[in-house]
Structure 1
Amino acid sequence: MNLFHPKILDSFKGYSGALLSKDVLAGITVGVVALPLAMAFAIASGLKPEAGIFTAIIAGGLISILGGSRVQIGGPAGAFIVIVYGIVDHYGIANLLLATAMSGVFLFLMGLFRLGTLIRFIPVAVIIGFTNGIAVLIGLSQIKEFFGLQITKMPAEFFQAVQTLYAAADTVNPIALMLSIGSLALLIAWKAIQKHLGYLSHIPGTVIAMAAATIVTSVLSLPVDTIGSRFGGIPSGLPSFEWIPISWGTAQFVIAPAITLALLGAIESLLCARVADGLIHDRHDSNQELMAQGIANLVTPFFGGMPATGTIARTVTSVQSGASTPIAGIVHSVTLLVIILFGAPLAKNIPLASLAAILMYVAWNMGEWKKFADLKQFRLPYRLTMLSVFFLTIALDLTVAIQVGLLFAFITFIYRISSLSRYEPASAIDFPELQQHQGSISAFRIYGAIFFGAVKLLESIENELPSTTLVLDLKNVIYIDVSGMDAILELEEACKARSIRLMICGLAHQPYEMAVRGGLLERVPSDFIYPDLQHGIAAAISQSH
C-alpha cells in the first residue's frame, strides 16, 4: 500500500455535503470546458475528435481515481499535439496506440521506482524553451483551419509545413477567416469582462465561442468545414475494447516515440500537480501520480484514445470552481460521457475554424513569452539553453531539443561548480610559523567539490609541491567523486615519488567515506591524518626537525 496509495483514499477526512456539492459543480464546469479542448487537440493531432473525448473520459477518470494529486484533471493536452501529429504522420495511428500504451508502461515504472522527484531536476530554461516552442508549433498547425486554406494534408516537419502554408496562401476562405477572428475576439473579450459577469463568470470562454460559432454556422449555413463534414460527427457512446496488435518488431519501431511521450507526460503532469499544490496548499505524491498516468495511458489506447497527462488549464478551472478532492475529476469524466451520450448529434455543426481559434488562444496562453523579454537579466548560458531548446523544438524535434538543452545545462552546471572549487595557501597571519619553513612545508586549504570537472585544481597543487611536506586541508570540501579521489591518489603517488610527506586534515562526512572506499586511508599512514589544519601544520613542523 505504501508503493501504491492513491490520493483519493486520504481525501475524505472531514468531507461534507457542502464540499461534495462544490466538487460536483466544479466537475460539471470543467467537463464542459474539456469538451471543445479535447476535440480540438485530437483534430490538431491528426485524429478524429472522438479520440480526444474518449481520452478525457477514460484517462481523466483513471487519473482522478488513482492519482497522487487531490485536484489534478487529466486528459489530452496541447503539449502532445506536435508529438502525436508527428507519430501519426510517420508511423500511423495503429503504431500511435502502441506507442501510447508503451509510454504508459514507462510512466508506471518511473513511478514504481520512485523517479518522480528526478523530473524536478530538469532546468527551468529547458522547460520554458520547449513549452514556448510547442506553443508556436500549435499555432502554426492551426493556420490551415484558421484561414480555411485548401490543404489536403499538413506535413509534420516545420519547414515543410511553412512551405505548404505559403503555397496555399491564395486559397483563403473569407467566411472561415471571419468566423475564426470572431471566435478569437469573443474569447479575448469574454476573458476581459469575465470579472464583471457575476455568476456567468464561471462559464468558460471556450464554450461560449464554440457555441456561438456553431449557432451562426447552423443558422446561416456557412460554407465552412465542420466536424460533420470532415469526420461525419462523433459517436454517441464509448467504443468497445479492442486489442492493439503487438509484436517485438513493431515495439522496437516505436520505442523512441514512446519514450518521448512518457517524458513529456511526466514533465507536464508533475508541473501541473505542482501548480495545483500552490492553489490548494497541499503536496502531491509525484510517484503515485506517475503510476496513475501510466495506467491511464496504458488503458486508453485499447479504447481508441490518445496520450493523456495532467492539464494545467482544466485543473486551474476546477480549483477555481471549488474542487477540493478527486471527486471533481471523476464528475468531469461523467459529464463528458453524458454529453456524448445525449448531445453527440449537436457536434456535427461545430466549425473547425472556431476550434482553430480556440487552439490559437490556448497556445498563446500556454507560452511564457515574458521570459523571453527578461532574458537580458540572465547569464549567457541560461539564454543559450532556453533559446536553443526553443528553436530546436520548432525546427527539429522535441526529443533533440530536450537532449541539447539538458547537455547545455549540464555543461553550464559543471563549469559553475568547478569555478566555485578553489584552493589557497594557508594564511601566514593564521600560521606565522610556516614562514620559517618556506619551500620545505606547504599547506593548502581546498574549498568546494573535488570532482571530474575540478581535478585541475589538484594538478595545480602538484606543480607547487614543497621539498619535504605537503599539508592538505579538506575541511571545506563538501563532495569528492571517483575522478576526484583518483586525482588525490595521483597526487599522493607524486609526493611518494619525490619523498614528500602528504598530510591530510579535516576529512569528514562524504569526503571521509570516499577516502575509505577509494583506498586513500590505506595509502596514507594514520599518523599523517589530522582532524584540522592547525594540528597538521604543527605535526609537519615537528617532524621536519
Structure 2
Amino acid sequence: MFIDKRFHPYSLGSFRKDLLSGLIVGVIAIPLGMAFAIASGVKPEYGIYTTIVAGILISLLGGSKYQIGGPTGAFIPILFGIVMTYGYENLLIAGFMAGIILTLMGIFRLGSLIKWIPRPVTIGFTAGIAITIFTGQIASFLGLTGIKKHEEFILNLKEILVHLNSINLFSLLTAGICLMIVLLTPKIAPKIPGPLIGLLVSTLVATICYPGHVATIGTAYGEIPSTLPRLHVPSVNLEVILKLLKPAFVIAMLGGIESLLSAVVADGMTSSRHNSNKELIGQGIANMITPLFGGIPATGALARTATNIKNGAVSPFSGITHGIVVLLVLLFFAPKASYIPLASMAPILMVVAWNMSERKVFAHIAKTRSTDSIVLLVTFFLTVFVNLTSAVEIGLVMSAILFVKRMSDVTTTAKALPNPQHRQGKVETSMVTDTHDCPQISIFNVEGPLFFGAAQTFEKTIMETINFRPKILLLRMSKVPLMDTTGEAILASIVKHFSKSGIVLISGLNPQPESVLKKTGLLDVIGQDHFFEHTGEAIQYGLTQINENKCLGCKHFAFRECKRLSAQEVVENRAKLTATF
C-alpha cells in the first residue's frame, strides 16, 4: 500500500505533537480567515470555508510536511479588485481557473521557474501589498462612517481624509484594546494566540460596556451560518473564461510564489525538503475544490506555517487537524462571531501587514542604490498606486533588461599576445601595444556569455580588426560558458567576411557553444581542423599559414618564432656567409 513519505515515520508521540500544533494553528486561523475575507470584500464566513477546505486539502495533497494553507493577506488587493470589478460569483470562477493553472504548472514541472523571480520584485510587491492592507483598515480602526471602497489606493486614502471627522471613539477604544493585546501577548505568553485573545477581550468589552455603539460582523454582514454551504458549481461560458483569464493567472502566480516561498522557509526551519511540483498540484486541487464551497483563493500561509513548526508539528496531519478545528468551531460557535466588532478585526490585519512588509529587507536593498533598488521601488510604487499585475509585469521586464545589461558588461573581447616573460607563453591582453602586435595573426580573448546582449560589442571589436586584414583570426573562447543563436549568427557573419581573405581558428571551445555550432552547421563551415583544445597549438598552426615574406622587416616580434622569420635573422645569416667567403 502506498504511504505518503511525509507521514513516515509516524508514531503515537508524533500524533500528539500534530494534534497540539493543529489545535493552536486552527485557533489562530479563525480570526485571520474572517479578517482576510472581510478585507477582500466578501463575507467573513467565506474566509472560514477557505480555511477548512483549502487547509485540509493543501496539507493532504501538497509537497511540504509543514505547510499550512488558507486565505492570506497577499491576496487581499487582488481579490478585492476582482470582487469590485467582476463580483463574488466571478471571483469563485477565477479561483477555480487559477487552481487549474497551478495544477498544470505542477504537472509540467514548472515549480522551479517561480523561484527565478528576482527578490527585489517579490519584496517590492509584498511591501506594496502590506501598505494597501494597512491603510485599508484605518477606517475600521477609527470607526469612520460613510466610507466607500475603491480599487485605487489614492481614492481610498481620500475617503479616509474626507470622513475623518466621523471618528467613533468607542471603535477607537475597541481597536486599541485588541491591538495592545496582539502586540503584548507574544512577549508575555508566546504560546497563547494573541489575535484570538485580542478578538475575544475587545469583543467582550464592546458588548458589555457599550453595546450597539460599534459596527459588528452581524450588523455589517449578518449572522454567520453554522454549517458549510452546499456544493455549488458556478455557471461558466467561454465569454466568462476569457474575461477572467488574466485575473486567474495573477491569482495562480501569486499563490504559487507565496506557497513555494513559505515551503522554502519551512525547509530552512526544519532541515527538510519540499517537492515544489507536488506542492503546486496540491495548491491547484485545493483552489479548484474550495470555490465549490464558496471559498476564496488560498495559498501557503507563511506565519501560520512557522507557528505550526514552532509548536512541534511533525507531519501534514497538523495541517489537517487545523482545518478540522476550524470546522468544529464553525459548527458550534459560528453565531457568536456575529458580535465581533469590525474595529477588533482591523488591528489584527494591521499587524499582519506590518509583519509581512519585509521592512528590513526592503531598506537593505534600497540602501544599495543599485539597479536592484530601482526595480524594488518601481515594483513597490506600482503595486500601491496602480495594481499588482502591472507591478509584477514591469518589475520582471526591468529585472530582465537590467540583468542583460549586467551580463553584457561582463562579456569582454580584447586583443592578446603571448607574454614572453612567462615560461609557457601565457596569452594576455596587456601585451598588445602599437609597437608589439602581429600584423598577420590577431588573437582575441573572448570572456563571458556570447548572447544577444553582448553580441553586437563582440562583432564591433572583431570587425575593426578585420579591416586591417590579418591572415589569421584566432578566438580564444575557453571563458565563453554559453552562446545563443544571436551570438552564433554574429560569429557566422564574422567567419563569412573573414574567410574571404583569411582563416578563423578557435581554441578552448566549451561544450555548450560547441553544441550550438554543430546544430547550426557553423562548426563544419569553419572546419574541424581549425578548432584546437589549447591556444599554443592554434598559434603553431597559424604560423604555418602566414605569408613569411611579409615577416621580413617586421619589428614587432609578437611570437618567439618572429626572430627566425624576420629580416634580422636573415641579415645575420648573410653576414656569416660573407665572412666565410
- Aligned residue for 2:448, secondary structure, equals strand
Q: Determine the structure 2 residue equivalent to 1:501.
A: 503
Once residues 467 and 291 of structure 1 are traced to their aligned partners in structure 2, the CA distance between those partners, rounded to angstroms, is: 60
Do structure 1's residue 274 and structure 2's residue 264 form an aligned pair?
yes
Once residues 436 and 230 of structure 1 are traced to their aligned partners in structure 2, the CA distance between those partners, rounded to angstroms, is: 86
Q: Which consecutive unaligned segments of at least 5 residues does structure 1 have? A: 195-200
1:240-298 per-residue CA deviation (whole Å, 9 max, x = no partner) reads 00111100001111111000000000000000001111111100000000001100111
Contact 1:144–1:151 (Cα < 8 Å) also in 2:
no
Offset of 1:440 from its aligned partner? 1.3
Q: Determine the structure 2 residue equivalent to 1:208.
A: 197
Q: Determine the structure 2 residue equivalent to 1:98.
A: 93
Q: Which consecutive unaligned segments of at least 5 residues does structure 2 have? A: 420-424, 549-581
Offset of 1:203 from its aligned partner? 1.4
CA-based RMSD of the aligned residues comes to 1.7
TM-score of the pair, normalised by structure 1: 0.95
TM-score of the pair, normalised by structure 2: 0.89
- Aligned residue for 1:464, secondary structure, equals helix
Contact 1:59–1:297 (Cα < 8 Å) also in 2:
yes
Do structure 1's residue 490 and structure 2's residue 493 form an aligned pair?
yes
* Matched AA of 1:237: T
Q: Determine the structure 2 residue equivalent to 1:371.
A: 361
Offset of 1:11 from its aligned partner? 2.6
Offset of 1:383 from its aligned partner? 0.7
Once residues 275 and 426 of structure 2 are traced to their aligned partners in structure 1, the CA distance between those partners, rounded to angstroms, is: 53
Q: Determine the structure 2 residue equivalent to 1:350.
A: 340
Q: Determine the structure 1 residue equivalent to 2:544.
A: 542
Offset of 1:470 from its aligned partner? 0.7
Offset of 1:513 from its aligned partner? 0.3
Mapping for residues 140-539 of structure 1, pairs under 5 Å: 140-194=135-189, 201-220=190-209, 221-375=211-365, 377-429=367-419, 430=425, 438-455=438-455, 456-465=457-466, 466-497=469-500, 499-539=501-541
- Aligned residue for 1:425, secondary structure, equals strand
Once residues 431 and 324 of structure 1 are traced to their aligned partners in structure 2, the CA distance between those partners, rounded to angstroms, is: 58
Q: Percent sequence identity over matched residues?
A: 41
Contact 2:148–2:159 (Cα < 8 Å) also in 1:
no
Offset of 1:500 from its aligned partner? 1.6
Do structure 1's residue 15 and structure 2's residue 17 form an aligned pair?
no
Once residues 372 and 316 of structure 1 are traced to their aligned partners in structure 2, the CA distance between those partners, rounded to angstroms, is: 21
Once residues 527 and 22 of structure 1 are traced to their aligned partners in structure 2, the CA distance between those partners, rounded to angstroms, is: 69
Contact 2:123–2:362 (Cα < 8 Å) also in 1:
no
Offset of 1:372 from its aligned partner? 3.4
Once residues 528 and 264 of structure 2 are traced to their aligned partners in structure 1, the CA distance between those partners, rounded to angstroms, is: 50
* Matched AA of 2:257: I
Contact 2:120–2:365 (Cα < 8 Å) also in 1:
no
Offset of 1:428 from its aligned partner? 3.4
* CA distance 1:25–1:443, shift in 2 (3 Å): same
2:114 pairs with one of 104, 111, 119:
119
* Matched AA of 2:36: F
Contact 2:174–2:344 (Cα < 8 Å) also in 1:
yes
Once residues 384 and 37 of structure 2 are traced to their aligned partners in structure 1, the CA distance between those partners, rounded to angstroms, is: 20
Q: Which of the two has higher C-alpha Rg? A: 2
Contact 1:70–1:284 (Cα < 8 Å) also in 2:
yes
Once residues 431 and 295 of structure 1 are traced to their aligned partners in structure 2, the CA distance between those partners, rounded to angstroms, is: 60
Once residues 186 and 120 of structure 1 are traced to their aligned partners in structure 2, the CA distance between those partners, rounded to angstroms, is: 37
Offset of 1:375 from its aligned partner? 3.5
Offset of 1:423 from its aligned partner? 2.0
* CA distance 1:474–1:16, shift in 2 (3 Å): same
Offset of 1:14 from its aligned partner? 2.8
- Aligned residue for 1:72, secondary structure, equals coil
448-457 or 11-20, which deviates more: 11-20
Contact 1:381–1:408 (Cα < 8 Å) also in 2:
no
Once residues 327 and 70 of structure 1 are traced to their aligned partners in structure 2, the CA distance between those partners, rounded to angstroms, is: 9
Contact 1:175–1:222 (Cα < 8 Å) also in 2:
no
1:441-483 per-residue CA deviation (whole Å, 9 max, x = no partner) reads 1111211110000011232111112421111111111000000
- Aligned residue for 1:445, secondary structure, equals strand
Offset of 1:415 from its aligned partner? 1.1
Q: Determine the structure 2 residue equivalent to 1:198.
A: none
Once residues 214 and 183 of structure 1 are traced to their aligned partners in structure 2, the CA distance between those partners, rounded to angstroms, is: 9
Contact 1:88–1:96 (Cα < 8 Å) also in 2:
yes
* CA distance 1:540–1:317, shift in 2 (3 Å): same
- Aligned residue for 2:7, secondary structure, equals coil
Offset of 1:526 from its aligned partner? 2.6
Contact 1:475–1:532 (Cα < 8 Å) also in 2:
no
User: After the TM superposition, which segments of 4 or more aligned residues of structure 1 sit over 6 Å from their partners?
Assistant: 431-437
